[in-house]
Structure 1
Amino acid sequence: MSDNTPLEGQRLVVVGAGAHTGRAIARAASAAGAALVLAGPDPRRLEWTAAELSGSSQVLGLDLTDEQSIADFAGTLGRFDHLVSTAAIPANGPLRELRLDDIQRAFSAKVIGPLLLAKHLAGQVSQHGTFTFFSGVAAWRPAPQRTVMATTNGALAFLVQALAVELAPVRVNAVSPGIVDTGAWDGLGADKEAFLRGVAERNPAGRVGTPQDLVKAVLYAIDNPYVTGTVLHVDGGARLAA
């Protein structure tokens, strides 16, 4: 990141800061001079992120599947400038095997949770602040056993449009990643390299994404005052590939 960033002296909330993408955003934002609020359901993971930051940070518990947790979070948080949520609870698998409670949790993390964050925090964000949520390429490239993922990511894309109108002049956008090597694919073990190579070969950009690609997209959404109600596709063109 350059020294000229929109985050110097700003208070930034990162929901999902205990996981791969949220942690990368928190590290970059802290280095850029932001005061961080790290939010998520696992305080231990949030503390691990806090230990990696160069600037000030605050850890607050937050469960997006529970409106009371969101209301309590709002009551503790106070004023802030920007919020980024990378939260997701996947419910993948064959359609005939999907469980209602898993589907509902997926929607809570990706759609209902962001809606309730806006509901409870709209009065606390600065006038020229932003909300940035994470969608995903599955909405534009649905695949077998990813029906819930495609639907929740697509719903979020429409939610940011509606929120951008209702919360104006506060701006609301979404970042939609494709396959990004954040560490989330490490569980593939020895198969990871071949998987990522195959993705790169299919992508028009000729590579997979990096965490820095996502950081740049988030910074753009925060910094550009003429961008709202928009989905920023950071997928190497994967949604266009044959």
Structure 2
Amino acid sequence: MSAGHTNNEDALAGTTVLVVGGAKNIGREIARRSADAGAKVVVGARSMESANDAAAQIDNARGIAIDVTDEASIAAAAAELRSVDHVVVTAAAHHNVPVAELEHDKVVTAFEAKVIGPLLLAKHFAPIMPATGSFLLFSGVAAWKPSAGLSIMGITNGAVSFAASNLAVELAPIRVNAISPGIIDSGTWDSMPADDRKAFFDGVAEGNPVRRTGTLDDIADAALWLLSAGFVSGETVHVEGGARQV
């Protein structure tokens, strides 16, 4: 191995990784994989019970209450933790309706979850992070493939990408990046009847160049790389099988 080269496991070993939204689906998988790579993991969720339940299933993990729509809870978590190396935020609050049916408060909540919350996490956590630390935000393919009825999802996800590039400059040398997932078999769709879910995933696969649906491993692999990629900042990494190209 050449001097100065590290792999994901080397880079995360002994660090503290906070995953806001780590109690379920993509967030939980990133938390688990970070722990497997030797990190101390903090699972953040609105419910302390949910955070603790998820943390109990992950080695070297603990839970903490964080509601990205409540700045006081973010400030309290930062004061309690005192030091973290990486912050991952997967929170979202969807409001997928036609523009004619938009509700003001739900639009605001969507922006709070995706954009304002991460900004406030940066406000309170950047001061307790080392120069080698990073933030990892979550955008989404809807920003690059506009669709009727998904305007709020598309707009907020697009804003996340701009948040990453702007925060990368302001918080430097702390790195800030984003992942933009496509349709991922993450557990989000498990409530659908099995036949409907299969038909949905088959349609997704037919509609992207790699001809399959994304997996939790696809996202976790990208996340761990970005947490450890010390010369990457301000980027949005698209993990969606090329879906935005077609």
1:221 corresponds to: 226
Amino acid at match of 2:224: L
Equivalent of residue 163 in structure 2, options 159, 162, 168: 159
Structure 2: distance between partners of 1:189 and 1:104: 31
RMSD: 1.2
1:125 corresponds to: 129
Structure 2: distance between partners of 1:66 and 1:175: 24
Offset of residue 5 of structure 1: 4.3
Q: Retained in 2: the 8 A contact 1:182–1:210? A: yes
Q: Retained in 2: the 8 A contact 1:129–1:170? A: yes
Equivalent of residue 28 in structure 2, options 18, 23, 32: 23
Structure 1: distance between partners of 2:156 and 2:91: 12
Q: TM-score, structure 2 length as denominator?
A: 0.94
How many correspondences in the alignment? 239
Offset of residue 8 of structure 1: 0.9
Deviations 1:66-110 (A, max 9, x none): 112211121112111111111101111121111111011100010
Offset of residue 163 of structure 1: 0.4
Offset of residue 64 of structure 1: 0.8
Structure 1: distance between partners of 2:198 and 2:23: 25
Please show how residues 200-211 of structure 1 align to structure 2 within 5 Å: 200-211=205-216
Deviations 1:172-204 (A, max 9, x none): 000000000011111221200110011011110
Q: Retained in 2: the 8 A contact 1:14–1:83? A: yes
1:33 corresponds to: 38
* 1:73 partnered with 2:77: yes
Structure 1: distance between partners of 2:53 and 2:93: 21
Q: TM-score, structure 1 length as denominator?
A: 0.96
Structure 1: distance between partners of 2:105 and 2:33: 35
Offset of residue 58 of structure 1: 1.9
Structure 2: distance between partners of 1:89 and 1:184: 13
Cα distance change on mapping 1:203 and 1:58 into 2, 3 Å: same
* 1:234 partnered with 2:239: yes
Offset of residue 120 of structure 1: 1.0
Structure 2: distance between partners of 1:210 and 1:221: 17
Structure 1: distance between partners of 2:99 and 2:24: 27
Which of structure 1's runs of 4+ aligned residues deviate more than 4 A?
none
2:116 corresponds to: 112
Offset of residue 3 of structure 1: 7.9
Q: Secondary structure at the match of 1:128?
A: coil
Please show how residues 176-191 of structure 1 align to structure 2 within 5 Å: 176-190=180-194, 191=196
1:139 corresponds to: 143
Offset of residue 121 of structure 1: 1.1
Q: Retained in 2: the 8 A contact 1:18–1:42? A: no
Q: Secondary structure at the match of 2:193?
A: helix
Cα distance change on mapping 1:235 and 1:3 into 2, 3 Å: closer
Cα distance change on mapping 1:129 and 1:3 into 2, 3 Å: closer
Structure 1: distance between partners of 2:15 and 2:193: 39
Deviations 1:115-162 (A, max 9, x none): 111011111011111000100000001111111000000011001111
Percent identity over paired residues: 46
Equivalent of residue 197 in structure 2, options 192, 196, 210: 192
Q: Secondary structure at the match of 2:12?
A: coil
